[in-house]
Structure 1
Amino acid sequence: MKGYTKPVILIVSVLLIDQIFKLWIKLNMTLGQEYKILGDWFIIHFTENNGMAFGLEFGGEAGKLALSLFRIAAVIGIGYGLHYMIKRKYHRGFILNVALIFAGAMGNIIDSTFYGLIFSESTWFEKAELFPAGGGYAGLLHGKVVDMLYFPLVQGHFPSWFPIWGGEDFLFFRPVFNIADSAITVGVALILLYQKRYFKEEVIEPESYNSEVIED
């Protein structure tokens, strides 16, 4: 189906990379375990969150359920929008960026929807087990999202004269995130960066018609 091939390949690729990475992390690392990839600048650090992207939280069990349902509704909306844009032949770059956002949202929905059912609890001392005999650690839509990418690029102290945080430690970049979060962030950033190119108005040349002179 013309127009769908590249977006579908991109979506499937992001989902596969995201889920393979998460499955490996869940089955081979304990909570808080980490591997330094580029010294102290890039670290694989296993953590989980109950809420939104980059480890943000949202309102306990009820909030978790509401967030999962919102994610599903959002993905349905984005998926329909993507289909509409392909049909209407929107800018290819814009379509691929939306496909990135769709894939990222889907990646985290898989975690929150199914991980609680298929994994045992990850702890600071024990690795998770896939399809445990006693059942998973949570019900449908109550799973935790797996995060692992950590880039503490700059660490230091605020000077004593600095307002509010004077004398305190600072760390950039603090959040731990995953491939799905990255896909969403890259997709949104590219749309903002190239919006003029994506949404420029097409100048339609007026058609010329041969008019006949009708004499009275």
Structure 2
Amino acid sequence: MGLKKSLLLIVAVLLVDQISKIYIKTHFVLGDAVEVFSWFKILFIENSGAAWGAKLSDFLPISEPTGKLVLTIFRLFAVAGIGYWLYDTIKKQSSRTLILAVSLIFAGALGNIIDSVFYGVVFNDSYQQVATAFSDEPYGGLFHGKVVDMLYFPLIDTTWPDWVPYVGGKDFRFFEPVFNIADMAISTGVGILIVFNKKAFGKDDKESGAEADPHSMGNE
């Protein structure tokens, strides 16, 4: 997998991710939901923190805006680091599996950082209203945007039996997190690295064969 295919994949993920987010942001009020199937809903929420909605201000003695700024700057450095990792894997002609995985991770990270950096100055608030783009009253500032999430898969939505200690009679829902296309790309990339670890960090058969060929070694 070369540079062109990697760039095509990244652009494709970014387009699908941003088009879906902009559509949801400009057609849904915060909290609106549409049931596609009993186990799949489009649910509009915004995430101003890290994974699972965690915020730095929940753990550190800093204000929420400061925590958001620090988190966004950290994400920028992380995206830059992943971008260099991708560049390095392509330059070294690493395995197709590794390039595919890193391309997906980079595309997903870049998709979410676009929200964090720009959405605060592009859109107005979605609370009790449908947001508009390039509003005269944006909801935040540069680096203070919220990530748009909308994919919700409550595969199991039931209650615990009364006889179960501590949780009996309480709601049980699986899978509860709400995410987006960028998150899916990141999760898929990480999953590929975990499941196909040896293939990802090994070498292609063609490259391995070339190294095993004594003639090719002698010509180096």
TM-score, structure 2 normalization: 0.86
The residue aligned with 2:97 is: 93
Code of the aligned partner of 1:198: A
Unaligned runs of 5+ in 1: 211-216
**Contact kept in structure 2, 1:55 and 1:177, CA below 8 Å:** no
SS in 2 for 1:48: strand
User: In the alignment, does 2:195 pair up with 1:193?
Assistant: yes
User: RMSD of the TM alignment (CA)?
Assistant: 2.1
**Contact kept in structure 2, 1:54 and 1:181, CA below 8 Å:** no
Code of the aligned partner of 1:140: L
Change (3 A) 1:79 1:193: same
Match of 1:49 among 26, 47, 50: 47
Instruction: Identify which range, 60-69 or 23-32, moves more after superposition.
Output: 60-69
User: In the alignment, does 2:98 pair up with 1:61?
Assistant: no
The residue aligned with 1:23 is: 22
TM-score, structure 1 normalization: 0.88
**Contact kept in structure 2, 1:50 and 1:58, CA below 8 Å:** no
User: In the alignment, does 2:8 pair up with 1:6?
Assistant: no
Q: How many residues align?
A: 206
Could you list the per-position Cα deviations for residues 160-194 of structure 1 after superposition, in whole angstroms to 9, with x for gaps in the alignment?
Answer: 44354333211001111111111100110111010
Pairwise CA distance, 1:157: 2.0
Q: 1:1-216 alignment to 2 at 5 Å?
A: 3-38=2-37, 40-59=38-57, 60-123=64-127, 125-134=128-137, 136-200=138-202, 204-205=211-212, 207=214
Code of the aligned partner of 1:34: A
Equivalents in 2 of 1:106, 1:78: separation in Å? 10
Pairwise CA distance, 1:54: 4.3
Structure of larger gyration radius: 1
**Contact kept in structure 2, 1:149 and 1:177, CA below 8 Å:** yes
The residue aligned with 1:213 is: none
**Contact kept in structure 1, 2:13 and 2:185, CA below 8 Å:** yes
Change (3 A) 1:26 1:161: same
